Amino acid sequence: MSKYKVNKTFQEINAKIKSGKAVVVTAEEMIGIVKDEGPEKAAKKVDVVTTGTFSPMCSSGAFINFGHSVPGIKASRVWLNDVPCYAGIAAVDLYIGATEPTENDPLNIIYPGEFLYGGGHVIQDLVAGKPVRLRAESYGTHCYPRKFYEKTVRLSDLPYARLVNPRNVYQNYNCAVNLTKKTVYTYMGTLKPNAGNANYCTAGQLSPLFNDPLYQTIGTGTRIFIGGAPGYVICEGTQHNPNASRTDRGIPRTPAGTLMVTGDMKQMNARFLRGVSLLGYGCSLAVGIGVPIPVLNEEIAMRTGISDEEIVTQVVDYGEGYPKGKGESLAEVTYAQLRSGHITLNGKKVKTAPLSSYVRAREIAETLKEWINKGSFLLGEPQELLPGPAEK
Amino acid sequence: MYKKMIVLRFPPEITDQPLVCSLSREHDLCFNILKAKILPGQEGIMVLEVSGIKKNVTAGLRYLREHGVKVKSVSQEVRRKDDICFQCGACTAICPTNALYLDQETFEVKFEPELCKGCEFCIAICPVRAMELRFSHEKVLV
């Protein structure tokens, strides 16, 4: 006997998607539905809730096979547009990481460094169909005698190019301020002295893991929107921490769950994959991801009805506390407060700014909704759910 | 004290005339040349901060215009490449005049050039370098 009044399966929802009868709404639309009709009616009415996020996600990169030349090379060092790649895998395989700067980039020698081009930009250029210069070196072997290889390639020339991001879609993130007297340049953006601004970086109520906070539907094999194409959740991402402190509604108060995700670059769109340069910090890749949440029962309906008023995060000092490894919370704020344009910290009004594009997050949730409504995107039932919080 | 950041463009035929010094000699203005490139036979460009009594600044700029110099304020030179901006909002944290701000209804990042004072903070801070100074293409920075 189920503990729920509404019980739906992935198969039933997929059958409805195929016959064009599934009811799909975005996470923003679901807030009003749950509020007006209650979780049970909402669960009966809605089959899928779509989410979205579009932010810099540093732990991103791509596995690329560039094909054998004649004569062949066992590439031991490879560069794409002068960005070093990891080549310690098979002869013509490589991994390019989003945060790898161009070789000979001045980095932070002239502070703050600009980091104008790096691995994330190479990925964006490839997806945009632009030519990219590939350079490979080797020590030469009997079977692969070539020691040097250089070629201009486009994504369409590459036999294999797959985005494999070890940590994306962070469930919650700190709100950063700077309490020192000097401007600091961080991965949370430029922070003015004396708490001159407070930067935050999630899509809040639209963000995938805030809508399934206890990982009741997401895991290995969940089909997702990634960089404009269909892709998959591989498993939990690096630093996945399900045991973070949570609110009564199960929302983590600090950074918690993460996803390792993948997708075929050849199907992607550069609108949803953007190389970024964070002043004084480094380069990265902004990734657009959307996860569909099947409304299997009234509990999941209730959870997808979460709004910015009920999602909290911690304000942390990135001027002194965080770099010293003592990033204790200065205050707890809601995403509704962050989105209002300012928060109050120690009695002082502090201007807030996002690093995550809410406009694009909304576009992703809408696009995913459209795909499902057209019947071209079915839900993937996870073979294993993400590790959840330890039983208390 | 009134201050204004301006961009001056000198047509090739007047680059040999001493015009900017008149701002100080005849209009009692102080000026600080921030960037300049004046070569014979080519259009010259100069980025200038002018300060003094507002009336004198107006008269001085009128003098330059009457002598064929094209005068624009720096703010008119800051531009957003809308095809590149992905609406993240990082710039709204540092824009001192709120020329870049987040629309509270739609969360779109809006840019109002008339509020821009040309401080250029947004240019290096934008993660995708969507903000640009038009005259940076005119080789004045090279």
- Which of B73, B93, B108 is the C-terminal boundary of a domain? B73
pLDDT for the residue A322: 97
| CB pair distance less than 8 Å for B125 and A279 | yes
Which region among A105-119, A345-359, A373-387, B2-16 has the lowest average model confidence (pLDDT)?
Answer: B2-16
Supply the pLDDT for residue B2.
Answer: 86
Q: For position B137, what pLDDT does the model report? A: 56
Asked whether residue B140 is assigned to any structural domain, the reply reads: no
Is omega for the bond preceding B18 within 30 degrees of 0, making it cis? no
Q: Give the span between the Cα atoms of B85 and A41, in whole angstroms.
A: 40
Domain shared by B62 and B91, yes or no: no
Inform me whether the C-beta atom of residue B88 falls under 8 Å from chain A C-beta atoms. Answer: yes
User: Which of the residues B81, B82, B94 would you substitute to probe the A interface, choosing the one with the greatest number of A C-beta atoms within 10 Å?
Assistant: B94
Judge if B48 and B111 occupy the same domain: no
CA–CA min distance A65, chain B (Å): 28
pLDDT tier at A347, thresholds 50, 70, 90? very high
Give domain status of residue B68, yes or no. Answer: yes
Cis peptide before A84 (omega within 30 of 0): no
Chain B, nearest residue to A199 by Cα = B93
* Contact between residue A230 and residue A224 where contact means Cβ atoms under 8 Å apart: yes
> Could you tell me which chain A residue has the CA closest to the CA of B98?
A351
> Alpha-carbon torsion A273, A274, A275, A279, what sign?
negative
For chain A, helix, strand, coil in percent to 5 are 20, 35, 45
Q: Is B108 on the interface with A (CB under 8 A)?
A: yes
B65 and B81 both lie in a single domain? no
Assign residue B96 the CATH number of its domain. Answer: 3.30.70.20
Catalytic residue numbers of A, as ranges: 143
Q: How confident is the model over A84-127, as pLDDT tens digits?
A: 999 999 999 999 999 999 999 999 999 999 999 999 999 999 99
Answer whether residue B89 is part of any domain: yes
Residues B129 and B87 in one domain: yes
Nearest residue of chain A to residue B110 (CA atoms) = A359
Tell me the ipTM for this assembly.
Answer: 0.93
Quick one: B68 and B80 in the same domain?
no
String of DSSP letters for A219-252: EET-EEEETTEEEEEEEE-TT--TTS-B-TTS-B
Across-strand partners of A229?
A: A226
B46 in a structural domain: yes
b/e for A58-83, b at 16 or more Cβ within 10 A? Answer: bbbbbbbbbeeeeebbbbeebbbbeb
Residue of B83, B85, B86, B131 to mutate for A, most A C-beta atoms under 10 A: B86
Residue at a domain's end among B56, B73, B90: B73
* Cβ distance of B86 and A339 shorter than 8 Å: no
E strands in A43-159: 48-50, 53-56, 61-65, 77-80, 83-85, 93-97, 132-137, 148-153
Mean pLDDT of A345-362: 97
Measured CA to CA, the distance from residue A27 to residue A22 in angstroms comes to 16
pLDDT confidence band for B38 (50 / 70 / 90)? confident
Residue of B nearest to A201 (CA): B88
B36 and B83 together in one domain: no
Confidence check: pLDDT of B141 > 50: no
Residue A363, pLDDT score: 98
Quick one: A20 exposed, middle or buried, by C-beta within 10 A (0-12, 13-18, 19+)?
exposed
Distance from CA of A217 to the nearest CA of B (A): 29
A278: which 2 tokens? 């964070």
Residue of A nearest to B108 (CA): A359
Question: Do the chains contact at B104 and A340, CB–CB below 8 Å?
Answer: yes
For the cut 80, the answer to whether the pLDDT of residue A228 exceeds it is: yes
Q: Cα dist. A131→A92, A158, A205 in Å?
A: 18, 11, 38
User: Is B116 a residue whose pLDDT tops 90?
Assistant: no
Measure in Å the smallest separation between the Cα of B103 and chain A Cα atoms.
Answer: 10
Q: Is residue B35 part of a domain?
A: yes
Q: Which of A96, A95, A93, A97 is nearest to A65 (CA)?
A: A93
CATH of the domain at B64: 3.30.70.260
pLDDT at residue A212 is higher than 50:
yes
| A52 touches A294 (CB < 8 A) | no
Chain B residues in contact with A116 (beta carbon < 8 A): 129
B73, B104, B123: which is the final residue of a domain?
B73
For A261-302, what is each residue's pLDDT tens digit?
A: 999 999 999 999 999 999 999 999 999 999 999 999 999 999
Which chain A residues touch B if contact means CB-CB below 8 Å? 54-56, 112, 114, 116, 189-192, 197, 199, 274-279, 284, 286, 339-341, 351-360, 362
pLDDT at B49: 87
Contact assignment for A359 to B125 by CB distance below 8 Å: no
Q: Is residue B58 part of a domain?
A: yes
CA distance A182 to chain B (A): 14
Contact between A357 and B86 using a beta-carbon 8 Å cutoff:
yes
Q: Stretch B115-122: mean pLDDT, rounded?
A: 83
Q: What distance lies between CA A352 and its chain's CA centroid?
A: 21
Q: Which domain holds residue B90?
A: 76-135
Residue B136 confidence (pLDDT): 59
- Confidence grade of residue A211 (pLDDT, cut at 50, 70, 90): very high
Does residue B39 form part of some domain? yes
CB–CB of A286 and B107 under 8 A?
Answer: no
Q: Please tell me if residue B33 touches chain A, with a CB cutoff of 8 Å.
A: no
Of residues A114, A353, A360, nearest to B124 (C-beta): A114
On whether both B62 and B33 belong to a single domain, the answer is yes
Q: Tell me: the pLDDT tens digits for B58-96? A: 999 999 999 999 998 877 778 999 999 999 999 999 998
Residue B142, pLDDT score: 44
Do B14 and B52 fall within a single domain?
yes
Please provide residue B74's backbone torsions phi and psi, each rounded to the nearest 5 degrees: -60, -35
Residues B27 and B56 in one domain: yes
In a domain, B96, yes or no: yes
Confidence at B135, pLDDT banded by 50, 70, 90? low
* Chain B CB contacts of A286 below 8 Å: 86, 88, 127-128
The burial of A85, by beta-carbon neighbours within 10 Å (0-12 exposed, 13-18 middle, 19 or more buried), is given as: buried
Q: Does B47 share its domain with B67?
A: yes
For an interface test with A, which of B83, B84, B87 has the most A Cβ atoms less than 10 Å from its Cβ?
A: B87
The residues with which A213 forms a beta bridge, in sequence order, are none
From the CA of A229, how many Å to the nearest CA of chain B? 18
Q: Identify residue A156 by its one-letter amino acid code.
A: S
Residues B51 and B114 in one domain: no
Confidence of residue B138 (pLDDT cuts 50, 70, 90): low
**Counted domains in chain B:** 2
CB-based contact A277 B127, cutoff 8 Å? yes
User: Which pLDDT band, with edges at 50, 70 and 90, does B133 fall under?
Assistant: confident
B50 and B29, same structural domain? yes
**Of the partner residues A116, A276, A353, the one whose CB lies closest to the CB of residue B89:** A353
Residue B104 contacts A, CB cutoff 8 Å: yes
Residue A175 host element (H or E)? strand A175-177
Predicted local distance difference test score (pLDDT) of residue A264? 98
CA distance A3 to chain B (A): 39
- Axis crossing angle, helix A27-45 with helix A358-373, rounded to the nearest 10: 30
